[in-house]
Amino acid sequence: MSILIDGNTRVICQGITGSAGAFHTKGCFEYGTRMVGGTTPGKGGQKDANGLPIFDTVDQAVRGTGATASMIFVPPPFAADAILEAADAGIRTIIAITEGVPVQDMVRARARLAGYPGTILVGPNCPGVITPGYRVGDRFEGGCKIGIMPGYIHTHRRDAKTGKAVGIVSRSGTLTYEAVWQCSVRGIGQSTCVGIGGDPVKGLDFLDVLEMFNADPQTDGVIMIGEIGGSAEVDAARWIKDNMTKPVAGFIAGRTAPKGKRMGHAGAIIGGADDTAEAKLKVMAECGIRVSMSPADLGQTMATALGLG
């Protein structure tokens, strides 16, 4: 078990013929993801380098392949439209990798997605979602990688020395890899890792993913990795205090960030006085989350929270 995606999930790539879309479709395909096709308007009927069918529209792709998940690499000006096209075609899990989508586009798209209650959006501006596969020789099987993360750093519970697996939810891409790696080298596997993305208006937020991990029997604990900007981590911490039955380790990036400066992510900017990393860390600790003060201690903090010493 896992959340959002698993080895049976049938996945298409929107923007499959673009350079990033093609590169990462291949990466996901090679990891063992059931990539079943992709879309690029005007290139319907062709095949990509992996032999996957290309369609003009998501609707045709869904009817032709039975896909239920989509990985979006469509360029920023058209990304919000691509999200809505996927929702309208019946895609259940939309994972938008594209960075640089205008905020007003996402405000409108999020509101329109309310009309598709069965659809889940992850991102945009995120590394994607991975449910790790188990090792068979030098390959992985049974997993599903939808996104740009390096597959090999992840560990399926079956391959984990401690026999434990944690869920990871994060606003950052490479910092998630850091957390995954620190867990993997300590023999802690991962059930699913969700990069929710660094934009101010996005799909799933911490709280949504935490609820899923809490309900997933194969998730033993959770690492949540936040950033400066916004109040989502604080809302999630309060929810954890009242509802979470599993240990949670947490970290907030940006304790040294200067006020008013955007730190790379559109969403990573300190606003008011309550909006600092320190303020978030304080609330998280008060809510029973094991806070890691150093990004180098994420794995160890999780291990301690799991009672692994």
Is 154 among the residues that bind another protein (CB under 8 A)?
Answer: no
Active-site residue 265, yes or no? Answer: yes
* 133 forms part of the interface with another protein (CB under 8 A): no
- In angstroms, the CA 288 to CA 237 distance is 8
Query: Per-residue string for binding with another protein, 26-65, x by CB under 8 A?
Result: ----------------------------------------
- The least CB distance from residue 247 to another protein, in Å, is 22
Residue 177 in the binding site for another protein (CB under 8 A): yes
Task: Kindly determine how many residues on this chain lie close enough to bind another protein according to the rule CB under 8 A.
Answer: 66
Interface segment toward another protein; rule CB under 8 A; list 62-70, 129-137, 156-164, 195-203: 195-203
Is residue 198 close enough to count as binding another protein by CB under 8 A? Answer: yes
Minimum separation from the CB atom of position 205 to another protein (A): 9
Burial class from Cβ neighbours inside 10 Å (0-12, 13-18, 19+) for residue 124 reads buried
- The nearest distance, CB 44 to another protein, in angstroms, is 27
Which of these segments, 3-11, 48-56, 61-69, 97-105, binds another protein (CB under 8 A)? 97-105
Are the CB atoms for 127 and 133 separated by under 8 Å? no
Q: Which is nearer to another protein, 61 or 290 (CB)?
A: 290
Q: Measured between alpha carbons, how far is 178 from 172 in angstroms, rounded to an integer?
A: 10
* Tokens standing for residue 17: 């013929």
- Residue 101's alpha-carbon distances to 6, 74, 149, in angstroms, are 28, 10, 20
Is-contact 52 28, C-beta < 8 A?
no
- Tokens describing residue 48: 């990509």
DSSP string of 129-160? EEEPPEEETTEEES-EEEESS-GGG---GGG-
Of the residues 24, 154, 156, 265, which is catalytic? 265
Q: What are the tokens at 74?
A: 């469509």
Q: Which residues contact 193 (CB under 8 A, 6 or more apart)?
A: 129, 130, 132, 149, 154, 167, 168, 169, 170, 176, 180
Give the active site residues: 265
Q: Which residues bind another protein (CB under 8 A)?
A: 20, 23-24, 76-77, 100-105, 107-108, 110-112, 127, 148-150, 153, 170-178, 181-182, 198, 200-201, 225, 227-232, 235, 251, 253-258, 261-268, 272-273, 277, 293-297
